[in-house]
Structure 1
Amino acid sequence: MRILLLGYGKMGKTIESIALERGHTIDFIVDKDDHQLFDRISGQNVDVAIEFSQPDAALENILKCFDRGIPVVSGTTGWLDQFEKVKNSCEEKGGTLFYASNYSLGVNIFFKVNQFLAKVMDKFPAYQVSMEEIHHTEKKDAPSGTAITLAEGIIQENKKIRKWVNRDTDAGEELGIKSKRINEVPGTHTVQYSSAVDDIEIKHTAHSRQGFALGAVLVAEWVIDRKGILGMDDFLNF
């Protein structure tokens, strides 16, 4: 598999290492100062793009891949206010976009556990739900895309929660997300339901970027012959 890497930070380098171990080639790397390389890139010399760049670069990266007939596997978060534009372009160009806020198998199981717990807790209004997410200091967006996915799962299943906010809150209709940035933390997410008598807590702690990167490479192997907007539910067949 011939891979175009979009973004070459710590995550991009980890993806490169895993892809090479699995027998693939990294044929092009486009980082923040290398966008002129797109002039040499097409669906004729690249099989798939894996995109872990920055929020302000993701939209342009994805649209350029659609123009060149290259399937995109994107894990960049913080740009989803532009998702409808990307979706429309994908459909118009007959392209492929696989997007996930997190490619870790464990996190995607955690998403399902979170939704199940939210549905159960909807029957117990005495509990106030809150969330904490911790990431490394280089992460640009807050809250994390993973935290937002967790929040959306809670809002979907819990009728009293109307919205999430990126702060502590005592408002019953709000889900407060506390974001912390600490050196060398790959990602920790905690969902807590608190009442006067007890707390219920679920937590996912990533020990390295390996799980995220391996998931992205496995998805890239799977997505090549598929079209449209896809996500982890499609890949894992939950």
Structure 2
Amino acid sequence: MKIALLGYGKMGKTIEKIAIDRGHEIVLKVTDDIESKDLSQVDVAIDFSVPSAAFKNITACFKQQVPVICGTTGWLEQYDEAVELCKTQKAAFLYASNFSIGVNLFFDLNQKLAKLMAPFKDYEIEIEEVHHTQKLDAPSGTAITLAQQVIANSSKENWKLDTAAENEIPIYAKRVDDVPGTHTISYKSEIDSIEITHTAHSRAGFALGAVIAAEWIKDKKGVFSMKEVLSGLS
């Protein structure tokens, strides 16, 4: 498979290594947007760029009928527009806030725990995420996904960074050198606390998941999620 890497930072370089190890070829590596690039030799594009370039990258791929795997966060105010453009162009698109197989299993666990805890109003909910100091957005896309899942399965109505009202979930974002990503959901009462945590030990899990998603989406049309990729693996 011929892959374009849109964004060639630490994640892009990790994806490159894993893709090559799995027998794929990297035919394009860019650090800016790709509106002027010829993608005719590209089977799949993987975007881990920056928020300001992501939407341009995605739509440029749609116009050239190149399937897109996107893990860039911080641009999601244009996500619905990207979905509509994908449908109009009859292209293929898969966005995930986190491509790690372990994190996607953690998402399922988070939903199940939220449903179990929903009747017990004495427990206060909070989310903490810790990432490396180079991460541009806060909170992380993964933390937002976790919060949205809890909101869908509880009486909470929204999330807020740091300070939250009674009907909101506070998300605490910490930045520490060389931390790939740690996410914790806590339910706390006067009597006890319940916590679930996912700790990434390296970027390899995110990169491998993105490459697996790229392998899965090749030759498909439509808008997909990691749930469909994982169901194909099980």
TM-score range, shorter chain: over 0.9
Out of 213, 216, 224, which is 2:218 matched to? 224
Shift of 1:38: 5.0
For 2:84 and 2:36, how far apart are their aligned partners in 1?
A: 24
For 1:89 and 1:201, how far apart are their aligned partners in 2?
A: 40
Out of 177, 180, 186, which is 1:186 matched to? 180
Out of 153, 157, 160, which is 1:162 matched to? 157
For 1:219 and 1:94, how far apart are their aligned partners in 2?
A: 19
**Is the 2:184–2:198 Cα contact (8 Å) retained in structure 1?**
yes
2:41 aligns with 45
For 2:35 and 2:129, how far apart are their aligned partners in 1?
A: 35
Query: What is the DSSP-based 3-state SS (H/G/I as helix, E as strand, rest coil) of the residue aligned with 2:66?
Result: coil
Shift of 1:39: 3.7
For 2:225 and 2:104, how far apart are their aligned partners in 1?
A: 11
- Tell me which amino acid in the other structure corresponds to 1:105: I
1:4 aligns with 4
The two structures have a TM-score, normalised by structure 1, of 0.95
Shift of 1:74: 0.4
1:84 aligns with 80
- Percent identity of equivalent pairs: 52
Deviant stretches of 4+, over 6 Å: none
1:60 aligns with 56
For 2:200 and 2:42, how far apart are their aligned partners in 1?
A: 31
For 2:89 and 2:66, how far apart are their aligned partners in 1?
A: 11
Cα distance per residue 1:71-120 (max 9 Å; x no partner): 00000011111011101110110011011110111100110110111111
Gaps of at least 5 residues in structure 1 are: none
- Give the count of matched residue pairs: 232
For 1:63 and 1:189, how far apart are their aligned partners in 2?
A: 31
For 1:97 and 1:41, how far apart are their aligned partners in 2?
A: 19
Shift of 1:40: 4.3
The two structures have a TM-score, normalised by structure 2, of 0.96
Out of 123, 127, 133, which is 1:127 matched to? 123
